[in-house]
Structures are given as structure tokens and as C-alpha cells.
Structure 1
Amino acid sequence: MLASTRRREILHRLLADGYVEARELANRMGVDTSTIRRDLDALARAGQVQRTHGGARPTPGVAGELPYAMKETERRSEKTAIAAAAAALVRPGDTVILDSGSTTYEVAAALRTHESLTVITNDLRIAKFVATVPDIRLLVTGGELLGSVYTLVGDRAESFLADYAADWTFLGADAIHPAAGITNTNTLEVPIKRAMIAAAVSTIVVTDSSKFGHHTLAKVAALDEISQIITDSQLPTGTAEQYGDQLTRTSYLTETESSAG
């Protein structure tokens, strides 16, 4: 398991339980306790956790969202394939809402060859990218910045979205579960995600297979509020069947296969 994947799981456990113990995490992940201690130390240096004797607890005042820099390097091939499948749904002249996140950033990149689109986003990194694409009209929500994830949230962002009618919302997810639905680690982002769902004819969740079978702190939406879920082909068939026709799995090339090609 990659260090970035372990650290994501540590933060998920911390948000769910309020405390994590290094020895228990080591047993759960099948690594040495010293490895987990190094992970906890790295998260503490990043301000994501507060170290305790033998474990860690949440940093006071920190919502627990993973930093963008950690997200953008994870599962890049999978995200690119998911984004290509998502972008294929969009037609010239459509209005698209892009949620914040590394997978929706890849959707923005995949839309760069489309014609006459309008893109609405609350993600400053996505906005910066889209601003360089000449044939896309860009609208950016107002709101307050969540710095580590470059996301705008708050009443102004929500009221901004209420004034528009979009064809598509492409929504990220921290976790997807057949019963719990779409959930998020950060409660501050939930209202604007709900506003994005309400503003669009169709909502497509774009997320890699590692997010399935889990649930996190805050509920975003039930599955019946979502039009479609697009993920990668690493999701086991047994898990995929729980979501029926709502789910699409996309194939992708590994880094080794890409290099060989």
C-alpha cells in the first residue's frame, strides 16, 4: 500500500473514530508500527493530525480534508480514464458544473476540446485551468476559501449556483456506500455539493474505486439523487453489482503499459 493511500485511510479512520492508535492501524494495514508512526508524524507536520502517545487525534479547528497536493498524485491513470468517460457525455453548448477535487480537475482537462461550453466551478485550480481554454465560458462561485483544497464554500457560493440551470454536475466523493450513499469528510462542503445537485438536470459522480464500500462523516446525497456513477475497472464485480445500471466502470492503462506503448 502506498504511503499516500495509508495516510488517506488514517484520516478517514480519525474522522470516523475521533482517535487512532498506531498499533491498531499497523495491524489493519499489514505494516510495521514504525511505518504508521512515520505516517502520523508526516500528517502532524502537515497540520492534519495532532500526535499523542501511541497514536493521533484530530487537530483542533481542522476539518480533516486531505490536501490537494496529496489527492492529485493518487490514482492518476484511473482518474484520467474516468474523466474521459465523463466528458464523452457532454455536448457542444452544454453548461457544466464542476465540483472541487482532483478527479473533477481531470474532467476539466478532458473538456478542453469541447466547443462552446459554459463551466461553473468552486475550485480555484479548475478555474485557473479553464481560464486558459479559449472556447469555454467560465463562471466562478463566490464564497470563502478552504485553502488546502482550493475550494470556495459558504452562503454566497450556494446562492450563486441557485441562479443557474446546468445540464450536468460532475461531483466528487470521499466515499460511496450502497446504504449510506455519497458522503464527505468535510461538513463545510456539503451544502454547496447539495446546491450543485439541485442546479443540474443530471448529476454524475466521478470517483475512483478506492472510495467504494466506505462512508465518512457527512452525508451529501442518497444514491437515488444521482444520475450515474463513473469509476475505474479496479472495482470488483461483486461490489459493482450493488449499484446496478447506475454504475459505469472504465478501463485504463497502468503506468507500465503506457510506457510500453
Structure 2
Amino acid sequence: MREKAHPHFGGRQMDVSERRRGIVELAVREGYVEANRLAHELGVNISTVRRDLDVLASDGLLRRTHGGARPTAGLAVDVPYAQKVRERSTEKAAIGLRAAEDVRDGDTVMLDSGSTTYQVAVALRQKCLTVITNDLRIAKFVSTDPAARLLVTGGELLGSVFTLVGHHTTSFLESYAADWAFLGADAVDVRAGITNTNTFEVPIKRAMLAAAHKTVVVTDSTKFGLTALARVATLGEVDEIVTDGGLDAEVAETFGSQIVYARVGEA
């Protein structure tokens, strides 16, 4: 009898990029992936899996071993939005409050997609602002605030994170100037800077950074010391990084005055 597919893959056909992302995520979760079993669970031949593993290894996402692969140390991977919302929700709410403190009535704010930037939107509620976002969850929330003027970018839906991406999105953002850009981050490292698990969102984040007078990265302390696939910005391109007090003091020192701590417990 055929063994049931690993629940991580959901027993469905995936395109190449989705399959490779799934392999990396599984390797990070389980510590090791075996080529033969991947071929069985994905319903592809072993040469396809070996090719996937070789490409992922050349990209620095996996480390090849005999018969399989292990995750690269310090690698950040994409997490489903529903899981992101549940994780470290208290810290994210506090980060949102701290990040929003200096925003004043009349300001124009760009909000990147993500569960932490969503909390910035929550903290900004009832301030008289112009809010520009490519995040549909944020847009839905802001649309219920009578004090806000909302502008939503065009673009193609990246369904897993409720985000609009693509040329139309970046073109829209390039048409505006903002006082603030609040960016999420999948990984933050003193050498690699701000990095992201996918390449689709990078041009969007770059456009927001270029359009704003001040750029603030909002991310919880678990994202520090990690690197992800795609470079978003160097540390020199952002003004502040708002995080929670779980960040190791020695790590925080390497970022200097860029680190701003949220008061967790007061959110």
C-alpha cells in the first residue's frame, strides 16, 4: 500500500518554485530531508529531487549530504500567515505601539505586508493619516477607520500572505511620497542586512523605502541573526529597527542606536 504523503506537502501537485520552497521548509522543520522519500512524497522522480537539492544547495539554502540534505545554519524560511499571526502576538502588538508613537496627524504612512506591520496599523487607528499599503488584511482593517484616508496598490495577489506584488504595485508606490515606511523583515543580520524569504516582495519594499522620508523596520527578536534568500536593504538604508526585549544584549550592541525596544506588557 502506498505510504501517505507527508502532511507538509498536502498530497498535491506543486510547481518548481513551490516544491523547492516546501523542501527547504521541511528541512528546517525536521533537520534533514532524504531524497528517496522526497521523490515518493512529491510524486516526482529521484533525478528531479536531486536536481532540486543541488539547486537549493548552490543557492545556499541547503547543505547536501549523502542521500539528502540538511538546512543551512541561520536560515530563515517563509511561514504561513495564519501561523505568523499566532506566534509572538504580544510582542508584535507592543512593537506596533512603539513604532506608531512618533507618527502625527496629517502624516502619510506606507505599510508593508505582514503580521507585525498589521499591528502598526492597529496602533495608528483613529489618527488622521493617509495610509498606503499592498497588504489586503491591513487595507480591510484601515478601511473601517473613518479618520484614515486609504490608498491600496494594484498588483497581483500573492495569496499565501494576502499581499499585492508586481510591476503595477511598484509603479503605484513610485507615484507617492510618504513621511513613514514601516517594513516587516523575515531576517535581520548585521552583515547581510534586511533579507526576505521570497523575491516577489523585494521590489515593493524597496519602492516603499525610496518613497519615505523615514524607514522603520518592525520585527520581533527571533528574526535577528538569520539570513534569508533575497536582500531587501542594508542597515544603512533604514533609520530604526523596532523589536522586543528578547533580543540578546550583545547582538543589539552590534546594531548601535538603530535598535528601539518596545515595552512588552504595555500593549
TMscore range, shorter length: 0.7 to 0.9
Q: How far off its partner does 1:251 sit?
A: 2.5
Which residue of structure 2 lines up, in the alignment, with residue 155 of structure 1? 167
- The superposition leaves residues 54-76 of structure 1 with CA deviations (integer Å, 9 ceiling, x where unpaired) of 9899xxxxxx7322111111100
- The superposition leaves residues 112-159 of structure 1 with CA deviations (integer Å, 9 ceiling, x where unpaired) of 031x20000000000000000000000000000000100000000000
Q: Does 1:191 align with 2:203?
A: yes
Which residue of structure 2 lines up, in the alignment, with residue 249 of structure 1? 261
Which residue of structure 1 lines up, in the alignment, with residue 79 of structure 2? 66
TM-score (norm 1): 0.75
Aligned-CA RMSD value: 3.0
Q: Does 1:123 align with 2:129?
A: no
Higher helix share: 1
CA contact (8 A) 1:184 1:220 kept: yes
Which residue of structure 2 lines up, in the alignment, with residue 104 of structure 1? 117
Which residue of structure 1 lines up, in the alignment, with residue 180 of structure 2? 168
Which residue of structure 2 lines up, in the alignment, with residue 82 of structure 1? 95
The unaligned stretches of length 5 or more in structure 2 are 1-7, 9-19, 33-37, 43-48, 54-66, 71-76
Structure 1: which amino acid aligns with 2:207?
Answer: A
Q: How far off its partner does 1:221 sit?
A: 0.2
Aligned length: 214
Q: How far off its partner does 1:253 sit?
A: 2.2
Distance 1:216 1:136, change over 3 A: same
Residues 228-247 of structure 1 aligned to structure 2 (within 5 Å):
228-247=240-259
SS at match of 2:31: helix
Which residue of structure 1 lines up, in the alignment, with residue 237 of structure 2? 225
CA contact (8 A) 2:126 2:148 kept: no
The unaligned stretches of length 5 or more in structure 1 are 1-6, 8-13, 27-39, 45-49, 58-63
Which residue of structure 1 lines up, in the alignment, with residue 13 of structure 2? none
TM-score (norm 2): 0.73
Q: Following the alignment from structure 2 to structure 1, what is the Cα–Cα distance between the partners of residues 208 and 257?
A: 23
SS at match of 1:152: strand
Distance 1:67 1:89, change over 3 A: same
Q: How far off its partner does 1:191 sit?
A: 0.6
Correspondence for 2:227 among 200, 206, 215: 215
Structure 1: which amino acid aligns with 2:96?
Answer: A
Distance 1:239 1:127, change over 3 A: same
Q: How far off its partner does 1:243 sit?
A: 0.4
- The superposition leaves residues 223-256 of structure 1 with CA deviations (integer Å, 9 ceiling, x where unpaired) of 00001100000101111101000111122129xx
CA contact (8 A) 2:239 2:258 kept: yes
CA contact (8 A) 1:230 1:247 kept: yes
CA contact (8 A) 1:20 1:55 kept: no
SS at match of 2:145: coil
Larger radius of gyration: 2
Which residue of structure 2 lines up, in the alignment, with residue 25 of structure 1? 31
Matched residues, percent identical?
Answer: 60
